[in-house]
């Protein structure tokens, strides 16, 4: 186990990171080339900072770009299946929060359609669909079986859906032996679920004037992380990235909320977006939501790229 230190150890070697970036896209992309060529200065290598971090507790082999490209199991977009659906099942999630999730998802997955869905009958989604539940032994609060939610939502997936993500305020667990899970996705069935209840500082017993900002940042992060899995992108082990695994509120809250060059390249292959246009849209969405650190990152990245093109 790795204990918290001032200088955490890099999880992968420089050669492993370089190898992860190798492989050709169908068409030349100068911005992604720039990101890959300057990956060591623009991005931070992935490190394990504490003994309970995800990579200290879970064995991850890593997924290179070429490994993603060669995968026979990843779902591919098509004209018939080109829409990401956010299925909002809690009435407690207000319209402003819904619109924030929608705007961020549209920018992050630029090139895909993104629509909101809600139950036809308002009320207790978990109760109506008889989702198995339990009382968490540590919090004393009710939790719902995330896998059962995925199973129940499979028949609800619209024909135009590339994937459907169920959004809830209820706490989740993936199997009896686990304490909780932030989110869960089923690649083959194109379904996912995530809860942002544990991203609320108040759930953690933390009172802070930044509660709203922290909750929004974490909720958007886990949303796009789970959707990333449905594109076939596995946990990132190369750089600090929104596709890194997370084991706790603390680890998730300190996480980077943008894609590293390895995962950006994978998503480019999956969707085929204009990379510069995507970054501009993300910067604009982050400005509106108030994610200042992301705005600064996207600004600096675009400015450095433009200066190299002159």
Catalytic residues, by residue number, are: 226
- Whole-angstrom Cα distance, residue 186 to residue 35? 30
Residues paired with residue 48 on neighbouring β-strands, in sequence order: 9
- Whole-angstrom Cα distance, residue 242 to residue 77? 21
Decide: helix, strand or coil at residue 168: strand
- Whole-angstrom Cα distance, residue 53 to residue 292? 25
- Whole-angstrom Cα distance, residue 245 to residue 234? 9
**Burial class of residue 176 (count of CB atoms within 10 Å of its CB; 0-12, 13-18, 19+):** exposed
Decide: helix, strand or coil at residue 158: coil
What DSSP assignment string belongs to 104-141? HHHHHTTTSEEEEE--SS-S-HHHHTT--EEE-TTT--
Decide: helix, strand or coil at residue 83: strand
Asked if 187 and 222 touch (Cβ cutoff 8 Å), the reply is no
Tokens standing for residue 226: 């789970």
């Amino acid at each position: 186990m790795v204990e918290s230190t001032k200088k955490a150890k890099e999880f992968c070697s420089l050669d492993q990171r370089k190898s992860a970036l190798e492989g050709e896209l169908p068409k030349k992309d100068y911005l992604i080339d720039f990101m890959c060529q300057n990956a060591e200065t623009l991005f931070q290598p992935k490190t394990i900072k504490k003994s309970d971090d995800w990579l200290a507790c879970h064995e991850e082999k890593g997924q290179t770009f070429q490994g993603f490209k060669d995968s026979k199991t990843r779902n591919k977009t098509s004209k018939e299946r080109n829409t990401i659906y956010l299925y909002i099942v809690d009435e407690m999630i207000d319209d402003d929060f819904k619109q924030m999730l929608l705007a961020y998802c549209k920018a992050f997955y630029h090139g895909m359609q993104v629509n909101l869905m809600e139950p036809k009958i308002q009320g207790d989604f978990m109760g109506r669909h008889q989702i198995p539940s339990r009382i968490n032994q540590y919090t004393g609060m009710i939790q719902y079986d995330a896998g059962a939610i995925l199973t129940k939502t499979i028949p609800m997936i619209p024909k135009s859906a590339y994937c459907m993500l169920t959004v809830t305020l209820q706490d989740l667990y993936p199997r009896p032996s686990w304490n909780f899970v932030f989110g869960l996705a089923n690649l083959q069935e194109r379904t996912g679920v995530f809860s942002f209840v544990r991203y609320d500082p108040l759930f953690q017993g933390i009172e802070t004037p930044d509660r709203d900002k922290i909750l929004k940042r974490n909720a958007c992060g886990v949303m796009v992380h789970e959707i990333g899995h449905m594109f076939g992108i596995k946990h990132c082990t190369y750089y600090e990235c929104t596709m890194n695994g997370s084991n706790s509120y603390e680890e998730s809250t300190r996480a980077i909320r943008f894609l590293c060059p390895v995962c950006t390249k994978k998503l480019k292959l999956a969707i085929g977006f204009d990379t510069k246009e995507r970054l501009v849209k993300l910067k604009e969405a982050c400005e509106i939501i108030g994610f200042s650190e992301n705005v600064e990152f996207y600004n600096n990245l675009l400015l450095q790229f433009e200066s190299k093109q002159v």
